[in-house]
Structure 1
Amino acid sequence: MWHKALSSHQLEVWAAPESQDLLKLLAQKFQAQQPLPELIISDIGVRYGGGTSLLATELCKWCAEHVPHVRVLLVNPRQTQIKEVEKRWATRRGAIDLLPKISIDNLSYAFTIAAQVLGIEVKSESLQTVITNLKYQKTQLDRGAVHGKSIRQTATEELARKMAMIPLMVMASEPTTESNQHTLPSQKRQLALDATISELKLYDLQIDLEQVGAIARQLFQDNPLLPALVVQDQGNYVGMLSRRRFLECLSKPYAIELFTKRPLRVLYEQAQSEILQLHGNTSIVLASQLALSRLNDEIYEPIIVHLDGDIYSVLDIHDLLQAQSYIHELATKLLREQTQTTMFQTEKMASLGQIVAEVSHDIRNPVSAIYGNTESLLTYIEGVMQILRAYEKEYGTSAPAISETLEQVDWDFVRSDLPQVVRSIQSGSKYLRRLVDTLQSLSHMKDNAMPEPVDLIECVDSSLMILSSRIRNIQIVKNYINLPKINGYSDRLIQVFMNLIGNALDALIDLRSQPDLIRQRHQILHKEVDEIHSSGNLQTVSEITWQPLVMISATIAKIDDRNWVSIKIADNGMGIPHEIQDRIFDSFFTTKGNTKGTGLGLAICHQIITQQHNGKIVLRSPYLNDRGDVTIGTEFEVLLPTMAL
């Protein structure tokens, strides 16, 4: 179509096949000082050098650097309509325009644009003749099978052309050009999830309203990637003049003569629009949301970034959306990694639970035998003692052999200590059997189990028993009352109390290893900073009498005219900072680091209490102790509804 339309106006037309290196050919003609074409019409989907780089981009760049008088007109044969952002993409690369797929219907419009660039008059009759002939040829096309390329080959080539279009579709990063643009050093590093717009590429070219419009035109020509100019009035910030608004004004009849020779103020009054101005510390995610919430006509306008003082810069919306895309990809990647870590941890805990179930089953049988036989053993010992007392009464112990034997075995001590030894064995086996039963209960959690009456005090004591190896030099204070049973799942409640008590133990152990934090806690609690330093000698940790303490209390609370069973687990550690307390029950949130915590313990506790038991779990840090005094530390209160009578 292009060839016939241009040839009808006696223009010399040369078509370069896709396999030929067009840039190399132009470079050879340029070096040989041979005449070059005035206009190059290029398909934006053609790849350069067999790679993914677009020939259109390289062609525009080469013409701008070597032969500015050669104009490039781009065509997108895969779209029937061109969006404003796509036209802008083309003009920013140096093309005069971007046209949609050329057809018989829009050939006249496309040829008119080419004629304006070439400076020729459109011959309507000649152009209409070409269009009529093209319509006639279209009606004579073979409607049978497509000859030549196979369907597979055609689809493959179309896929390759679409792959070459990816840089346009995702707004690929701009090429680096020498300009007066201001690029922040922080852009060299990778963006974080909470990165701000001040870390992106910003432009700070400024122009005063008293300067003539030709200066603005020259600045845009010298900086093809510049999205907008910062407008000032006698050194004071006024607003922004975007490239799009500027070109729209100049495209009007007689606009170049009217605006370029007059002060920019005249053009600026015509090109004013609503400006989105954000502070430099605005997050990229929030800035993207605000930018995309603008009206359709303003959505692709640049953004003014207010830095420190009176410094204002321009942020291209393309750079902002590209950064937002990177942050979204990064967040997805991190979430995927956290999910995988959770899956691995869940699988590991499931395997560990199976092992615990098997081992506890193997231990339980001999332990039960030991515990069951101790009662019989005590009965047998008492019977033996009766027989020995009867012999002693009947025959006495005056015989030399008997007296010597009794003295050797210390009979008086053995007779009094033997029952106590058996009772000690009985107590130890009872404790071990209870521990095994608790482990076995935890390892056999069932999602479809039915709730049953649960003794919360027994659940707390079972948790303490499992954690007994970690309770070293840490005082456990219990303050219980007789509690009614609640309807729930004992194994899951044991898991909750184990997690809460375990967190308290971890906090106290960590604090005990850091004397400076103990001293800081003492200063905050007693407000004696001046007294500590007044003597000139800093108090040692030993002088600050702090002992790790976990307090567990059980009571009945009345809330909203309803009775609740309350279990409080408190410690006297450093507490939880106020700024993170709202996130403490969020999944994957942890203050212990990736090597110690997964960030799921409290989230699971919250789910067990609120969803499975219709209860509440409350965090207080700091909290009030039993005497009503403010205590630095952390308190978790578990509230569970009592059983209806």
Structure 2
Amino acid sequence: MSVEGNCQFSLPVFCEGSYQDLRLESNLGELPLFYFEVQLSLNCADILPLFEKYPLLPGVVLRDSDRFFGMISRQRLLEFLIRPRGMELFLNSPLEVIYSYARTDLLLLHETMPIVEVARLALRRSPELLGEPIVVEMKSGKYKLLNIHELNIAYWQIRGIETQLRFERVQAQMIQSEKMASLGRLVDGVAHEILDPVGFIWGNLTYIDNYSTALIEIIEAYEAHIGEPVPEIEALKVDLEFEFLKEDLPHSLDSIKNGAQRLKTLATSLQNFCHIDEVFPKPADLHSCIDSVLLLLQSRLSGEIEVVKNYGHLPPIHCYASQLSQVFMNILSNAIDALLNQAIDREFTSKFQGSQKLSQSARKSRIEIKTQLGSPDENESQQPQPRWVTIQIADNGPGMSPDTLEATVESFSVQRRAQKETSLAVSYWIVTARHGGRFRLRSQLGEGTEFEILLPAF
């Protein structure tokens, strides 16, 4: 059965004079939009002909019956299909299967949102999502797709800005820096506002514990001095499950205490991570920085990934703590992504090649973090050398091929960063330029990847 027979599809209509009539207050509803919705049960093979027929179609909106479920862009869909064995695994599978692996953070906005504000939100997305289409919710309840290029055209016409690509990159870097600073201040303020009520909760839990204990003691004292049980009271105790309440109340209070403590720790980690560094470096505990980042990434660290920490005895290091936290975040995020992708590959291997072949190469996903105080390996002088702090973050993921490793190292150069700034390139700049340290990358295909950061301990 054809896709056209299962869902409604309409091409975006470009109004010849629409761009000329744009105003600063113009909204998304005035731009050309794609309407293409299908059910999750539909196979990938059924919609591929439509992407070939309509080359400007940016993606497809997914529905679960009458409920909005998500969106897969053309780029993400084709990326998964052209992967090794991608056609075999996904082509004849329901869209729900490929969406479970290709899903990304959506930018879902209402059609009444101003174009200028939407363009700012789109620019603030992470680099790998800048080309993703925007999902627009219409007043009618339908969901349509906006090509990012149409948004850019409208935005630049509204602003009346015409510039060269190099100037755009410089402006994008300035916007990104300001965004990170603003986001840091915002999160720091939110974390502070969270800590205040947590303090109230924590301070009153002790009184609630004492009050509940006293009330139960009073009830037990009444029961001891009343000879015959009162039927009405006994019936009420049964209805309220008094015995269970008396036993479960202390456990509930302990659970609230644990939750308040976890919330306090998380808010403190957010404050430390988003703290805006001063002009000059200050002493910081690197172990606390790493632990805070691990706490923020806890939701991504599934039970399949084991984190091993071998911390040495480190003195406080003069550094820009939040910038180093960003370095640790970038490295650990890359390691987690690699391990999760490896787990997905193993899952497909176990399904389509059998568990026997999988058991020969299966190993538990692992991230090892090691810190120590010493000297760089390449110091050949026999004279006393300054002390250096070494932070090694290694994973047993799929690793990199020699070509990929060479391309990654080349991206650290100034020329490459000007063309495309990656998270690892930013980390390299923070360690080397801002802290006078050294940033090393070692990787072997099939064995894993190791990052080594050396910082002067003075």
Normalising to structure 2: TM-score of the pair? 0.52
Q: Assess if the C-alpha contact under 8 Å between 2:371 and 2:391 holds in 1.
A: yes
Indicate the percent of aligned positions where both proteins have the same amino acid: 33
Tell me the distance in 1 between the aligned counterparts of 2:369 and 2:211.
43
Tell me the distance in 2 between the aligned counterparts of 1:587 and 1:414.
65
- Which residue does 1:407 correspond to in 2? 238
Q: 1:479 to 1:360 in 2, by over 3 A?
A: closer
| SS in structure 2 at match of 1:419 | helix
Alignment of 1:552 onto 2:356: no
Structure 1 residues 214-258: Cα deviation after superposition (integer angstroms, max 9, x where no partner): xxxxxxxxxxxxxxxxxxxxxxxxxxxxxxxxxxxxxxxxxxxxx
- Which residue does 2:256 correspond to in 1? 425
Tell me the distance in 2 between the aligned counterparts of 1:404 and 1:554.
62
Tell me the distance in 2 between the aligned counterparts of 1:564 and 1:412.
61
Aligned pairs for 1:397-476 (under 5 A) are 398-452=229-283, 454-472=284-302, 474-476=304-306
- Which residue does 1:486 correspond to in 2? 316
Tell me the distance in 2 between the aligned counterparts of 1:369 and 1:353.
25
Q: How many aligned residue pairs are there?
A: 281
- Which residue does 2:453 correspond to in 1? 638
Q: 1:583 to 1:447 in 2, by over 3 A?
A: farther
Compute the displacement of 1:357 (Å): 3.5
Q: Structure 2 counterpart of 1:556, which letter? A: Q
Alignment of 1:477 onto 2:307: yes
Q: 2:423 aligns with which of 591, 596, 601?
A: 601
Compute the displacement of 1:392 (Å): 4.1
Q: 1:344 aligns with which of 175, 195, 206?
A: 175
Structure 1 residues 410-435: Cα deviation after superposition (integer angstroms, max 9, x where no partner): 33322222122122112212222222
Task: Please give the root-mean-square deviation of Cα atoms over the aligned residues, in Å.
Answer: 3.7
| SS in structure 2 at match of 1:468 | coil
- Which residue does 1:114 correspond to in 2? none
Compute the displacement of 1:621 (Å): 0.7
| SS in structure 2 at match of 1:492 | helix
| SS in structure 2 at match of 1:469 | coil
Q: 1:573 aligns with which of 358, 376, 397?
A: 397
Aligned pairs for 1:177-192 (under 5 A) are none
Q: Assess if the C-alpha contact under 8 Å between 2:195 and 2:264 holds in 1.
A: yes
Structure 1 residues 181-234: Cα deviation after superposition (integer angstroms, max 9, x where no partner): xxxxxxxxxxxxxxxxxxxxxxxxxxxxxxxxxxxxxxxxxxxxxxxxxxxxxx
Aligned pairs for 1:55-454 (under 5 A) are 335-395=166-226, 398-452=229-283, 454=284
Compute the displacement of 1:613 (Å): 4.0
Q: 2:328 aligns with which of 472, 484, 497?
A: 497
Tell me the distance in 2 between the aligned counterparts of 1:588 and 1:398.
87
Q: Structure 2 counterpart of 1:571, which letter? A: D
- Which residue does 1:216 correspond to in 2? none
Q: Assess if the C-alpha contact under 8 Å between 2:313 and 2:373 holds in 1.
A: no
Q: Structure 2 counterpart of 1:553, which letter? A: I
- Which residue does 1:585 correspond to in 2? 412
Q: 1:440 to 1:393 in 2, by over 3 A?
A: same
Q: Structure 1 counterpart of 2:256, which letter? A: I
Compute the displacement of 1:451 (Å): 0.4
Q: Structure 2 counterpart of 1:576, which letter? A: M
Compute the displacement of 1:501 (Å): 0.6
Structure 1 residues 533-572: Cα deviation after superposition (integer angstroms, max 9, x where no partner): xxxx787875565466241323424326665444322222
Q: 1:548 to 1:349 in 2, by over 3 A?
A: farther
Tell me the distance in 1 between the aligned counterparts of 2:415 and 2:203.
46
Q: 1:364 to 1:449 in 2, by over 3 A?
A: farther
Q: Structure 2 counterpart of 1:551, which letter? A: I
Q: 1:349 to 1:407 in 2, by over 3 A?
A: same
Q: Assess if the C-alpha contact under 8 Å between 1:622 and 1:633 holds in 2.
A: yes
Tell me the distance in 2 between the aligned counterparts of 1:397 and 1:351.
69
Q: 1:563 to 1:446 in 2, by over 3 A?
A: closer
Greater Cα shift, 573-582 or 553-562: 553-562
Q: 1:381 to 1:492 in 2, by over 3 A?
A: farther
Tell me the distance in 2 between the aligned counterparts of 1:441 and 1:555.
20
Q: 1:395 to 1:569 in 2, by over 3 A?
A: farther
Tell me the distance in 2 between the aligned counterparts of 1:403 and 1:500.
62
| SS in structure 2 at match of 1:639 | strand
Compute the displacement of 1:448 (Å): 1.5
Q: Structure 2 counterpart of 1:338, which letter? A: R
Structure 1 residues 480-501: Cα deviation after superposition (integer angstroms, max 9, x where no partner): 3463342234322222211111
Q: Assess if the C-alpha contact under 8 Å between 1:618 and 1:637 holds in 2.
A: yes
Q: 1:402 to 1:509 in 2, by over 3 A?
A: same
| SS in structure 1 at match of 2:204 | helix
1 or 2 for the larger relative contact order (CA 8 Å, sep ≥6)? 2
Q: 1:386 to 1:433 in 2, by over 3 A?
A: same
Q: Assess if the C-alpha contact under 8 Å between 1:374 and 1:423 holds in 2.
A: no
Aligned pairs for 1:7-18 (under 5 A) are none
Tell me the distance in 2 between the aligned counterparts of 1:397 and 1:553.
66
Q: 1:464 to 1:587 in 2, by over 3 A?
A: farther
| SS in structure 2 at match of 1:483 | coil
Tell me the distance in 2 between the aligned counterparts of 1:344 and 1:582.
26
Q: Structure 1 counterpart of 2:277, which letter? A: K
Q: Structure 1 counterpart of 2:294, which letter? A: L
| SS in structure 2 at match of 1:637 | strand
Gaps of 5+ in 1: 1-331, 523-536, 624-630
Tell me the distance in 2 between the aligned counterparts of 1:437 and 1:429.
12
Tell me the distance in 1 between the aligned counterparts of 2:415 and 2:269.
28
Q: Assess if the C-alpha contact under 8 Å between 1:588 and 1:600 holds in 2.
A: no
Tell me the distance in 2 between the aligned counterparts of 1:499 and 1:541.
33
Q: Assess if the C-alpha contact under 8 Å between 1:557 and 1:564 holds in 2.
A: yes
